[in-house]
Structure 1
Amino acid sequence: MKLTALFDDFFHSEKSSGLVLMGCTVVSLVLANSVWQHEYLAFWDYHVFDHSLSHWVNDGLMAIFFLLVGLELEREVYIGELSTLRQALLPVVAAMGGMLVPAGLHFAFNHGTPTQAGAGIPMATDIAFALAVLSLLGNRVPVSLKIFLTALAVIDDLGAILVIAIFYTGSLAWTNLLIALGVFGILLILNRAKVRNLIPYLVGGIVMWYFMLHSGIHATIAGVLLAFAIPFGNGDEKSTSYILQHFLHKPVAFFILPVFALANTAVTLPADWIHSLVEANSLGIFVGLFVGKPLGISIFSYVSSLVKLTRLPDDLSMGQIIGAGFLGGIGFTMSIFITLLAFDEPHFISESKIVILLSSILAGGVGFILLNRACRAKSSAEESLT
């Protein structure tokens, strides 16, 4: 199985972004707990046009991130790794397990408590971090595993988008929402009229984002809608969708996501932060990411292949699926993003960020170890047969 050029470009940009994200996270945590703590936190709280810088990052820059996610998803569905039922079914089923089981575990710990709304936090997978860890294994990683994990993470992002739209929407300002949807409808008409110039779509996207921002639905949803309004054509290098997607890869990977990491991992560790790890919300997030993710992904993959609903690629073992499941437990960007939507209480937000970081580090470490062993075992077994 060969990787397409665009998928290979996506894989390498995402894994490099993950390494940058790791560095930004460390820098942010150090600064937030250093003698420059006050200045660093004040910087992200600096207000521009009645909103803090961190708010502009989360509601503005992240809309561009979701635009890229939408473009990636559109490509995968039309001509990529999710374009046929046979290719798509395994990562789709695995992603469902990887979302339902973690959410169920968090809900079990927090049902009827003020932190019940955090059930969506452990559902998401951070594509950049997961692929960065996978890249550390080098050429021993089979192509099918790269495709499986990438498709799984993309579907996870789609799940996160739906969760945000359905469960983390407050009271609706219907006039603003209808205007935003009206702009979306106009962009779809331009698409059908075969207008290929990007400018009207980008201008319309900004207008749609503005009204979505004031509608009660999170503004990042505008990025996803814009992605599906932009003409895809046949998906070649001259298509409007490809041009924008290719342009956005590096700015998102090496600017937007690192800035998001800097803004949202500026967590000051209180003296008793270890005690907060045993609170219901923390336990729900940790068990969801570190146990629920690999458990859901592995069980759903195994059972679906057992009943012949899906089929594991010949070069992929269940040991590698389990290892990939742990990499799916690296929530980071998306988990932190959902945290900001789920809670208003600073204590819950800070507590959640800390446990997300710890859970993601542990899940990534265990996933790396298991995949390293599984890939070696697979290579040894293949060598013994030759």
Structure 2
Amino acid sequence: MASRPTLEFLKTETGSGLILAMAALAAIVWANSPWAGAYHAITYHAVTVQVGPFAEQMSVAAWVKTALMPIFFFVVGLEIKHEILRGELSNPRRLALPVLAAAGGVVVPALVYLAINAGEGGSPAGWPIPTATDIAFALAALAMVGPRLPPALRIFLLTLAIADDLVAVLLIAVLFTSEVRFPMLAGAAVTLAVLAAMSRWRTAPYSFWVLGGLLLWGFTLKSGINTSLAGVAAAFCLPLEPKRPGGQGVLQETMEALHPYVAFFILPLFAFMAAGFSLGGVEGVGILGPVSLGVAAGLFFGKQIGVFGAAALAIGLKWARRPTGAKWLELYGVSALCGVGFTMSLFIGALAFPAADALHQAQVRAGVVLGSLASVLMGMAVLAISAARRARDQAGQA
């Protein structure tokens, strides 16, 4: 039986999937319309923020990635902590299948990308891009075609995606930290230590947590480390216990409060800023280069082969059991849905190639959109076929 936070997570992320799709479609249409200049003017418009000694200038798109996406990673961190301590990831028997499947879904897409980009003209640095899974899109697609499918499939997909996000956070930490400013890093470490100590103060006002989170974000930004890590680190400091006996846990309360803003504002805004690519001009000439082909093939072929292959191997070796009530065809359909990388892949792609590299940035966007679209269509088609078979079987037994 899924826990209440998990069910709320499913409900919110599923509902935001269509908003994400609409935001991405609007960006692509606008970027290829006669008013494309206005789209690029908005996304690349420089904005300066200064608060006391803190001063930073970035484009609107960069601010969304740097200042708003850490809130998304904060929520992801809250979900990971809850699942590790109280949810699906706390049960070793239930944990084995999605974690092994997630491992296959990271390794195989990376190998597919590298195989396409190993030759002359390739860009091997983008190999982490197709390793990600977009929880919102994948769950929305599953909900649309599989309302009568076994609930265990949804929990399997959610747990796999959470494990996938954890790997993505580690990759960001290891691969996309270039120059570290140690005085600022020390400030971030001290702030994080204070937040960790506050975890024992269950009645701490939320304003204290907000102030600590902002300080941690500011120090992390100035240290040169990706600010998404600040979001995850802060999440692990929040206590699970309620402020008062019988009340809702601090972590759960925070997660439920932030979910709607993340699902219906931050992620669609990021998708709108990051998904627009031009099919004409200089970018359009090389839009189908090794990067876009590697990303698209990694998401579509690599993900489903890696996830389903690792899951089948684990089940065949009796290291894990198939999700309760699920058929092999349904497990394959869910594996195909894992190829919907979208927001996470776009985020990693923005880190893998500098903003000044317009051609590779355009190829990343094209590859993510094409690979994710192909994956969602394949997954939905397979699951729709299985759902129709279930309906016929039930009608025959009636």
Question: SS of 1:51's equivalent?
Answer: strand
Tell me how far apart the structure 2 counterparts of residues 176 and 272 of structure 1 sit (CA, whole Å). 39
* Counterpart contact for 1:110–1:284, Cα < 8 Å: yes
Tell me how far apart the structure 2 counterparts of residues 361 and 237 of structure 1 sit (CA, whole Å). 42
**Is there any run of 5+ residues in structure 2 with no aligned partner, and where?**
49-56
Matching residue's letter, 1:83: S
Question: SS of 2:273's equivalent?
Answer: helix
1:352 corresponds in structure 2 to 364
* Counterpart contact for 1:168–1:341, Cα < 8 Å: yes
* Counterpart contact for 1:196–1:240, Cα < 8 Å: no
2:206 corresponds in structure 1 to 198
**Is there any run of 5+ residues in structure 1 with no aligned partner, and where?**
none
Corresponding position: 1:71 with 2:78:
yes
From 302, 308, 312, the counterpart of 2:312: 302
Tell me how far apart the structure 2 counterparts of residues 87 and 374 of structure 1 sit (CA, whole Å). 24
Matches within 5 A, 1:49-88: 49=48, 50-88=57-95
Question: SS of 2:89's equivalent?
Answer: coil
Corresponding position: 1:104 with 2:114:
no
2:275 corresponds in structure 1 to 265
Q: Kindly report the root-mean-square deviation, in angstroms, between the aligned alpha carbons of the 2 structures.
A: 2.0
What's the offset of the Cα at 1:107? 1.7
* Counterpart contact for 2:286–2:359, Cα < 8 Å: no
* Counterpart contact for 1:298–1:318, Cα < 8 Å: no
Mean Cα deviation higher: 42-51 or 109-118: 109-118
Matching residue's letter, 1:220: S
Q: Cα distance 1:281–1:85, how it changes in 2: closer, same or farther (>3 A)? A: same
Q: Cα distance 1:237–1:300, how it changes in 2: closer, same or farther (>3 A)? A: farther
Corresponding position: 1:153 with 2:180:
no
Tell me how far apart the structure 2 counterparts of residues 237 and 283 of structure 1 sit (CA, whole Å). 51
Tell me how far apart the structure 2 counterparts of residues 277 and 72 of structure 1 sit (CA, whole Å). 36
Tell me how far apart the structure 1 counterparts of residues 324 and 394 of structure 2 sit (CA, whole Å). 11
Question: SS of 2:180's equivalent?
Answer: coil
Q: Cα distance 1:240–1:93, how it changes in 2: closer, same or farther (>3 A)? A: same
1:162 corresponds in structure 2 to 170
1:180 corresponds in structure 2 to 188
Q: Cα distance 1:201–1:174, how it changes in 2: closer, same or farther (>3 A)? A: same
Q: Cα distance 1:383–1:178, how it changes in 2: closer, same or farther (>3 A)? A: farther
Tell me how far apart the structure 2 counterparts of residues 354 and 237 of structure 1 sit (CA, whole Å). 47
2:20 corresponds in structure 1 to 21
Matching residue's letter, 2:213: G
From 316, 323, 327, the counterpart of 2:326: 316
Question: SS of 2:226's equivalent?
Answer: coil
What's the offset of the Cα at 1:88? 1.3
Tell me how far apart the structure 2 counterparts of residues 225 and 43 of structure 1 sit (CA, whole Å). 31
Corresponding position: 1:372 with 2:384:
yes
Question: SS of 2:71's equivalent?
Answer: helix
2:237 corresponds in structure 1 to 229
Q: C-alpha offsets along residues 257-289 of structure 1, whole Å, 9 cap, x if unaligned?
A: 111011112222225867646522222112210
Query: If the length of structure 1 is used for normalisation, what is the TM-score?
Result: 0.94
Matching residue's letter, 2:309: I
Corresponding position: 1:247 with 2:257:
yes
1:46 corresponds in structure 2 to 45
* Counterpart contact for 2:116–2:122, Cα < 8 Å: no
Tell me how far apart the structure 2 counterparts of residues 142 and 302 of structure 1 sit (CA, whole Å). 18
From 95, 107, 111, the counterpart of 2:102: 95
Query: If the length of structure 2 is used for normalisation, what is the TM-score?
Result: 0.92
Matching residue's letter, 1:316: A
Q: Cα distance 1:93–1:170, how it changes in 2: closer, same or farther (>3 A)? A: same
Tell me how far apart the structure 2 counterparts of residues 203 and 44 of structure 1 sit (CA, whole Å). 28
Q: Cα distance 1:156–1:237, how it changes in 2: closer, same or farther (>3 A)? A: farther
What's the offset of the Cα at 1:25? 1.1
What's the offset of the Cα at 1:67? 0.4
Tell me how far apart the structure 2 counterparts of residues 283 and 340 of structure 1 sit (CA, whole Å). 17
Q: Cα distance 1:317–1:71, how it changes in 2: closer, same or farther (>3 A)? A: same
Mean Cα deviation higher: 16-25 or 193-202: 193-202
Question: SS of 1:48's equivalent?
Answer: strand
* Counterpart contact for 2:242–2:250, Cα < 8 Å: no
* Counterpart contact for 1:57–1:260, Cα < 8 Å: yes
Q: C-alpha offsets along residues 138-168 of structure 1, whole Å, 9 cap, x if unaligned?
A: 4222100111111111111111111100111
Tell me how far apart the structure 2 counterparts of residues 168 and 241 of structure 1 sit (CA, whole Å). 28
Question: SS of 1:171's equivalent?
Answer: coil
Matching residue's letter, 2:387: C
Tell me how far apart the structure 1 counterparts of residues 377 and 22 of structure 2 sit (CA, whole Å). 16
What's the offset of the Cα at 1:7? 2.0
Tell me how far apart the structure 1 counterparts of residues 82 and 155 of structure 2 sit (CA, whole Å). 14
What's the offset of the Cα at 1:375? 2.9
Work out the percentage of aligned pairs sharing the same amino acid.
35
Question: SS of 2:311's equivalent?
Answer: helix
Q: Cα distance 1:40–1:280, how it changes in 2: closer, same or farther (>3 A)? A: closer
